[in-house]
Amino acid sequence: MREQSKLIRSQTTRSSNREHSVPLYLTSSFVFDNAEHGRAMFADEVEGNLYSRYSNPNTSEFINKIVEMEGAEAGLAFASGMAAVFASIAGLLRSGDHIVAFRSVFGSTHQLFTQLLPRWGITTTYVDASKPEYFEKALRPETKMVFLETPSNPGLELVDLEWLGRLKKKHNFILNVDNCFATPYLQKPIEYGADLVSHSATKYMDGQGRVLGGVVVGRADLMKELMFFIRHTGPAMSAFNAWTISKSLETLTLRMDRHCSNALKVAEALEKNQEVEEVRYPHLPSHPQYELAKRQMKQGGGVVTFTVKGGFERAKIFMDELKMILLTPNLGDSRSIATHPASTTHSKLSDEERAQIGIYPGTIRISVGLEDLDDILEDIFTALKNSI
């Protein structure tokens, strides 16, 4: 079967009730056939479900879909995207290890690198990824991992995955990519040599702003080490969330096509507007890495970032003038969302740090939803006009 069909048709074994749609397995533990089976399960001699902190039919189904899509060997599901990102680092590194990371990372990932991991002796060096050579310059003998997001949030800067895949062949590090913004439909980092791919499933995978979730997929040996970490620290995804997200994946590619076509039209229209200073969208020819975006991403994604003339004061009026689009710190929802990164998701950074990653006082991030394009455009451009 091809990708879209697999997303719809892969499911856990049908029970004796012969259900068509996958049922929700709300059970903490699973029954052993007999005492010998219990011993063998705990000794890892046989496969199967034992306890829902370890595995559950709903989480396994969800994981299998992402493993297939990303072209990975194995995967694990988590309670949230941050639990996934944290485990993909803390489950593999130890005190004294060093990370080289693209400086434009998700807000909580930034707190993890700068405030939390140093407590356990894991340090991070940030690099500007406009030239991939910067990653090589920052490598040290103790560098165990290179971590990045592409495209980044909210600056929509890209990292050249092919170049990094080649760098990895020369140096021995784990290449860990947060692929949340692109989804495996638009971009498959493992094809370029990534060892691990993490996601916040809260975003496009659920796609309707209902549940939190995370997933890490990649090399089987690394997943085995991570499995040990999560079994004994407990950040497992709930069966309910796995069931919800697995159902949503049936429409992932359809939804992404619409997110992307709406977002491209919004970006093109914003670029023509006098009140807008700068528009960022990977598949706009004016994007500084347009060629790379065309090569690396099937479509430009669902997020558009732009900067209004007149700074924060103007941005505030614009956001308060929006009628349909609401202000909330999420993205990847079927409903369009507006966010002001400098005062919310990236408020912990200094003005200088923000400017380096393309966030100015007048910058607004729109997660373009699935509504009728004309309604989205009308809301944005009426609010822009009323903010003058």
Ligand X SMILES: *Cc1c(COP(=O)(O)O)cnc(C)c1O
Number of residues this chain uses to bind ligand X (CB under 6 A) = 15
Place of tokens 């030239």: 131
153 binds ligand X (CB under 6 A): yes
333 binds ligand X (CB under 6 A): no
178 binds ligand X (CB under 6 A): yes
For 173-199, give the DSSP string: -EEEEE-TTTHHHH--GGGGT-SEEEE
Residue 16, C-beta contacts closer than 8 angstroms, at least 6 positions apart: none
Tokens of 372: 């009728």
339 binds ligand X (CB under 6 A): no
Which residue number, 214 or 362, has a Cβ lying nearer to ligand X?
214
- Kindly compute the dihedral angle of the four CA atoms of residues 149, 91, 185, 241, in this order, to the nearest 10 degrees: -120
User: At CA 178, angle to CA 55 and CA 245, rounded to 5?
Assistant: 45
Minimum distance from CB of 214 to ligand X (Å)? 6
Minimum distance from CB of 345 to ligand X (Å)? 9
Place of tokens 């997303």: 7
Q: Which region among 8-16, 17-25, 59-67, 79-87 touches ligand X (by CB under 6 A)?
A: 79-87
* CB neighbour burial string for 19-44, b if at least 16 within 10 angstroms, e if fewer: eeebeebeeeebeeeeeeeeeebeee
80 binds ligand X (CB under 6 A): yes
What part of residues 280-309 is at the interface with ligand X (CB under 6 A)?
none
Question: In the sheet that 123-127 helps form, which strands lie side by side, from edge to edge?
Answer: 74-78, 214-218, 196-200, 174-178, 143-149, 98-102, 123-127
226 binds ligand X (CB under 6 A): no
CA distance 186 to 179: 10
160 binds ligand X (CB under 6 A): no
Minimum distance from CB of 269 to ligand X (Å)? 25
What part of residues 100-129 is at the interface with ligand X (CB under 6 A)?
106
User: Mask 181-210, x = binds ligand X (CB under 6 A)?
Assistant: x------------------x-xx-------
Q: Which region among 4-12, 176-184, 255-263, 306-314 touches ligand X (by CB under 6 A)?
A: 176-184
Tokens of 353: 């740090």
Give the binding site for ligand X (CB under 6 A). Answer: 80-82, 85, 106, 149, 153, 178, 180-181, 200, 202-203, 212, 214
